[in-house]
Each structure stands twice: as structure tokens, then as C-alpha cells.
Amino acid sequence: EAQVTQNPRYLITVTGKKLTVTCSQNMNHEYMSWYRQDPGLGLRQIYYSMNVEVTDKGDVPEGYKVSRKEKRNFPLILESPSPNQTSLYFCASSFGASYGYTFGSGTRLTVV
Amino acid sequence: EDQVTQSPEALRLQEGESSSLNCSYTVSGLRGLFWYRQDPGKGPEFLFTLYSAGEEKEKERLKATLTKKESFLHITAPKPEDSATYLCAGTSGNQFYFGTGTSLTVIP
């Protein structure tokens, strides 16, 4: 089944404790992206990647890092999480920036 | 500033009562306008991409149209299972700009 898989689905952590949210797709998509979704603000793009080793900032990149060492994987790294990063995170992939995304099921992150 | 604005925020319809959702955009050099459906607790599900003014696409009871300033999602004779949040997004290249969505409730 064609899908984007994110892990974990739920995560509660403490301020400053480094964490990684994994994202993997099995559709050979070149384009991958991370979003956060907050009430009243909608989906906001954090980082995107056009291909292996090619990444760029979206609208809200502060406090996040990404890497794209393999085509299928695009992990999101929070080096020192803070409470304002509490949010619902989605990974998405597509054949290119002008194509519709396939989204993962989301990761609900709480930073206390 | 590139942005996408959706209206209304929420819409309640009786089953069978047709209506339209609006998405206005100011995205420089728009290369695609997208519509997604999102159910509670799930990731958005892709519905349509529109590339140029005048383009229309249909899927079951949904029809999306695009002008130079806005897009409409027309829902004809909706059913309760059409209840969801509908999101639109524009892209000028590699960055995407999502609206905050319209929450649609269809009452039996």
C-alpha cells in the first residue's frame, strides 16, 4: 500500500530533550515536506526537500532540523524542544512541488 | 506576502443542500491550487489540483474551479459522509501556503 509512515503517533517530552520524528514513504517520491498544524493557524510548512541532500526552509523553520540522506526518509529533529513546539506534525510527499501530497497520519507532540 | 484565505470558517448544510466553499489566494506566480479533505485525527487527503484559470475538476459530488484570484469547491447534494474540513493550498514553486480550512457539517 502506498503510504507515508510517521513515528511516533504521540509523544510527550520535556523541554530541552532532543527528539526525532521519523518519516518514510514507499512511493519513490522526490519531494517531501514537514508541516505543523495549530488551531486557527492551519498547516504551516517547516522544511521541504526536493531530493536527496537538497533541503530548504519553509515558513516556520526555527527550532527544527531535517536531513535527507535517502530518498524514502525525511526525519524531523528538534534539538532542544520548547513548549511552543507543542503541535500536530505532518509529513507529506509527492512526485514534485506541483503535484498533490500524500500525508502521513500525524504526530501529536507535547512539550512540557 | 503570499497567502491563502478560506471562507466561511464553518458551514452547516442539510443533506441535499448544495453550496460552495471559497479560497482566495495571493500567491505570486501560482503554479498550482490544491484542495484537500481532512477528517478529525487524520492527515489531509488530496482531492484536486488546478493549474490555470478556467480549469475545472470533478469528483463525485465535488467540483473545483479556479479563477485568477480565487478557487471554489462546489458541493452538490451533499451527504453526511461529506462532513470534514476542506483545505486549500497554493504553491509558487517549492513552498506551499495552506488556508485555515472550512469545517463542513452535513446534517441528515
Give the C-alpha separation, B10 to B77, whole Å. Answer: 18
Q: Minimal Cα distance from A55: which residue of B?
A: B94
In this prediction, residues A96-104 reach a mean pLDDT of 89
CB atoms within 10 A of CB A99: 17
- Other CB atoms within a 10 A radius of the CB of residue B93 amount to 14
Q: For residue B34, give the nearest of A58, A100, A102 by CB distance.
A: A100
- Asked if B9 reaches chain A (Cβ–Cβ under 8 Å), the answer is no
Q: How far from the centroid of its chain's Cα atoms is residue B38's Cα? A: 11
Q: Give φ, ψ of A74 to 5 degrees.
A: -150, 80
Alpha-carbon distances, residue B40 vs A4, B45, B70 (angstroms): 18, 12, 26
pLDDT grade for B94, boundaries at 50, 70 and 90: confident
How would residue A81 be classed by pLDDT, with cut points 50, 70 and 90? very high
The whole-angstrom separation of Cα A65 and Cα B3 is 24
CB B16 within 8 A of CB B108: no
**Across all residues in chain B, what is the average pLDDT?**
95
pLDDT at res. B93: 80
Q: Is A40 on the interface with B (CB under 8 A)?
A: yes
Whole-number Å distance between alpha carbons of A12 and A112: 7
Spatial contact of A32 and A81, defined as CB atoms under 8 Å apart: no
Q: Is A41 close to B100, i.e. CB distance below 8 A?
A: yes
Going by pLDDT thresholds of 50, 70 and 90, the confidence category of residue B1 is confident
User: 3-state DSSP call for residue B81?
Assistant: helix
Sorting pLDDT into bands at 50, 70 and 90, what band is A99? confident
* Rounded-to-integer distance, Cα A47 and Cα A111, Å: 20
Q: Is the CA virtual torsion A102, B75, B39, B4 positive or negative?
A: positive
What does the angle CA B69 – CA B72 – CA B78 come to, to the nearest 5 degrees? 170
Residues of B in contact with A103 (CB under 8 A): 43-45
* Tens-place pLDDT, residues B5-55: 999 999 999 999 999 999 999 988 889 999 999 999 899 999 999 999 999
**pLDDT at residue B92, as a whole number:** 86
